[in-house]
């Protein structure tokens, strides 16, 4: 069975502070991990995927297979980063590409 | 707007009634997914189609739920004899499903919020 855990429901930081949104997963094989974001009144959208190893809007995430984690980080938070963030997993054997999502973390960046 | 669309955006119904939701994917996308999201939770997979074929269903999809994609374009999700526990946001997503690519980005619709009284 595959599972994604986001331990924090809410993370509140001040503008300019570093941000780390935690994500842990459980999967017996080698998964693909993603971060999705939902800004206020907008639809869910892909932020980044571990395979791409890219930085999007200043966010990065490294897959740590030893710790089964895929934490999302940004060195200096901006007010426009305030949103719901969901970590998601796709099993490699999953031909249908269905995603298993975590419960989400609401990031609030205060001025 | 060329994104995924869903109709209606909101539905309020009484317990025991049947409801039907529609999803129109991005036109060239051959894969379509339904997810359900309850308050405070992330989306949970319900079912997916490749073209008109329904290839997988979650155990969450009880026999009161049925989904179709008759011509491989739009899809409908019907819930019969609704229960209060069915109250949730129902999300639709689509993707190209191109072969040889491990993951094709899923594009989500705005969702249909169902409230069962």
CA distance linking residue A13 with residue A107, whole number of Å: 8
* A31 in contact with chain B, both atoms CB, cutoff 8 A: no
The answer to whether A24 and A71 are in contact (CB under 8 A) is: no
Residue A105 in contact with partner chain B when CB distance is under 8 A: no
Nearest to B103 by CA among A45, A94, A1: A94
The token pair at A18 is 């570093």
Beta-bridged to residue B60, according to DSSP, are: none
Which three-class secondary structure string do you get for A33-80?
Answer: EEEEEECCCCCCEEEEECCCCCCECCEEECCECCCCECCEEECCCCHH
Instruction: Report chain B residues whose CB lies below 8 A from the CB of A97.
Output: 31, 48, 95, 97, 103-104, 106
Q: Do B111 and A43 touch (CB under 8 A)?
A: yes
pLDDT over 60 at B1, yes or no: no
Q: What per-residue confidence (pLDDT) applies to B39?
A: 92
User: Cβ of A46 and B44 within 8 Å?
Assistant: no
CA distance B96 to B110: 19
Put simply, the chain A residues between 45 and 64 with a CB less than 8 A from any chain B CB are 45-46, 49, 51
Q: pLDDT, tens digit, for every residue of B46-104?
A: 999 999 999 888 888 889 999 999 988 999 999 999 999 999 999 999 998 666 655 67
> Residue A95's closest CA among B23, B31, B65?
B31
Sign of CA pseudo-dihedral A14, A80, A105, A25: negative
Please, what are the averages of pLDDT over each run of 10 residues along chain A (111 residues)?
93 97 90 93 92 86 92 97 96 73 97 94
With an 8 Å Cβ cutoff, is B31 touching chain A? yes
| Residue B10 reports pLDDT greater than 90 | yes
Range B23-50 burial, b when 16+ CB lie within 10 A, else e? bbbbeebbbbbbbbbeeeebbbbbbbbb
């Amino acid at each position: 069975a595959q599972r994604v855990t986001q331990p924090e429901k809410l993370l509140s930081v001040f503008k300019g502070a570093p941000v780390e949104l935690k994500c842990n997963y459980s999967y017996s094989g080698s998964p693909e991990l993603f971060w999705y974001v939902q800004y206020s009144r907008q639809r869910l959208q892909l932020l980044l995927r571990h395979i791409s190893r890219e930085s999007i809007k200043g966010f990065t995430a490294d897959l740590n297979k030893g710790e089964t984690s895929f934490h999302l980080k940004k060195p200096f938070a901006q007010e426009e980063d305030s949103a719901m963030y969901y970590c998601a997993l796709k099993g490699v054997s999953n031909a249908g590409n269905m995603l298993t999502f975590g419960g989400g973390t609401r990031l609030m960046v205060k001025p | 707007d060329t994104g995924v669309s869903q109709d209606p955006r909101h539905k309020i119904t009484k317990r025991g009634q049947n409801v039907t939701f529609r999803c129109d994917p991005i036109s060239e996308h051959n894969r379509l997914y339904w997810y359900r999201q309850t308050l405070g939770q992330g989306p949970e997979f319900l079912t997916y189609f490749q073209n008109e074929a329904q290839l997988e269903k979650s155990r969450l999809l009880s026999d009161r739920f049925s989904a179709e994609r008759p011509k491989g374009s739009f899809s409908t999700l019907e819930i019969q004899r609704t229960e209060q526990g069915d109250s949730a946001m129902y999300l639709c997503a689509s993707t190209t499903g191109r072969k040889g690519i491990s993951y094709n980005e899923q594009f989500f619709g705005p969702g249909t919020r169902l409230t069962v009284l």
